[in-house]
Amino acid sequence: MIARTRRPELPLRLLVALAVMLLAFALLPLVAQWFGSPYFIRLGTRVMVFAIAAVSLDLILGYGGMVSFGHATYVGVAAYVVAILAHHGANEPLLLLGMSVPGTANAWIAWPAAILAASLIALVVGAISLRTTGIYFIMITLAFTQMVYFLFLSLQQYGADEGLRLANRSELLGLDLGNRVVMYYVTLVALVLVLFGGWKLVHSRFGMVLRGCQQNARRMEAIGFRSYRYKLAAFVIAGATAGLAGVLQVNNEAFVSTADLHWLRSADLLIMVILGGVGTLFGPVVGAVAWVLLELWLEGLTVHWHVILGPVLIFIVLFAKNGLWGLLLGRGDDRG
């Protein structure tokens, strides 16, 4: 018997959709400049930051069955770490456990530190939450989110509920991240890398185990997989990726506040994933675009815009199983 090995194919429709998406993102700054609305460049960066966070959430939600109700925590914490390090770089050094640690705006130090912080929190939250499943998992991740939220709310030194301004933008390869076009393309590169890495991950041996655990954990245990450690690893990877989103976010907005850590932001991310299509990897990017546009448009119509958003979501959940991405492509990517 000759083994038939299949490359995880990129069907034509998927390739076209991805090409169109990439082209649209790549051209947006030019179009925005053309129409004299550079405001859209910052907005576009914001969308891509959300997209990175939503894609990372989809890795555990759509491929691991983990409904994390606290994913914004990892984004927010990473953003805070960058802002705090920059704050101490510009002002007095940070006193940590009796040691004086100088702050920095160097991206090669601040970004890994921020992503590491997000990963460590994900490790702790995941290690505890993954001992439960279903509604309990949701509630525990939510509880941790609130803990971190109130922790930062209590830090007077870093602005508490008023938030923290980014003293200096990160220094990365001599790029001027204060320039909105530069910031935009840096974020676009990050998004493309995250999508490429995510695609590789969900089709790798690791990804297959993760997806197997989502479909039938009992079976996976019976054939010899300790599902806990694979799910935990995925949870930490998702946390780290969300951390990358946070690093970019704080550089784009030059500001971070506890609103970025609030559970409502985590709910927003969940909505983006559901809108775009759970377990579709690329769908959450569309979900992030749709979410930001919907928010903009509906906010303009009425202050009670959630009244409209709610039914739209219910409609999507009921009639478009794989979200907007499913509507675009016909179906999700379930194949091994």
Partner 1 sequence: MAEPAGLSLRHLTKRFGALTATDDLSLEVRPGEVHAIIGPNGAGKTTLIAQIAGELTPSAGDIYLDGECVTPLAGPERSLRGIARSFQITCLCHRFSALTNVALAVQAHSGHSFRFWRAAARDVALQAAASEVLARVGLAERAQVMAGHLAHGEQRQLELAVALATRPRLLVLDEPMAGMGKEDSARMIALLKQIRGTCTIVLVEHDMDAVFALADRVSVLVYGRCIATGTPQHIRANAEVRHAYLGDDGEVTHD
Q: Are 70 and 141 contacting, i.e. CB atoms less than 8 angstroms apart?
A: yes
- C-alpha 99/C-alpha 90 separation (Å) is 18
Q: What is the widest separation between alpha-carbon atoms in the chain?
A: 70
- C-alpha 193/C-alpha 31 separation (Å) is 24
Minimum Å gap between C-beta 219 and partner 1 is: 5
Nearer to partner 1, 205 or 304 (CB): 205
Nearer to partner 1, 1 or 96 (CB): 1
209-268 positions binding partner 1, by CB under 8 A:
209, 211-212, 215-216, 218-226, 230, 233
DSSP state of 262: S
User: Counting contacts by CB under 8 A, is residue 282 touching partner 1?
Assistant: no
Q: Are 23 and 42 contacting, i.e. CB atoms less than 8 angstroms apart?
A: no
- C-alpha 119/C-alpha 109 separation (Å) is 15
User: Counting contacts by CB under 8 A, is residue 123 touching partner 1?
Assistant: no
Minimum Å gap between C-beta 3 and partner 1 is: 4
User: Counting contacts by CB under 8 A, is residue 14 touching partner 1?
Assistant: no
Q: What token pair was written down for 336?
A: 């091994």
Closest CA to 14 of 272, 211, 316, 285: 285
Minimum Å gap between C-beta 242 and partner 1 is: 17
Quick one: which of 97, 300, 319, 335 contacts partner 1 (CB under 8 A)? Answer: 335
Burial class (CB in 10 A: 0-12, 13-18, 19+), 69: buried
Nearer to partner 1, 29 or 323 (CB): 323
Nearer to partner 1, 99 or 223 (CB): 223
From 121-129, 167-175, 200-208, 268-276, span contacting partner 1 (CB under 8 A):
200-208
Minimum Å gap between C-beta 280 and partner 1 is: 13
What's the sign of the alpha-carbon dihedral 57, 59, 62, 66? negative
User: Counting contacts by CB under 8 A, is residue 334 touching partner 1?
Assistant: yes
- Residues near partner 1 (CB under 8 A) are 1-8, 200-201, 203-209, 211-212, 215-216, 218-226, 230, 233, 334-336
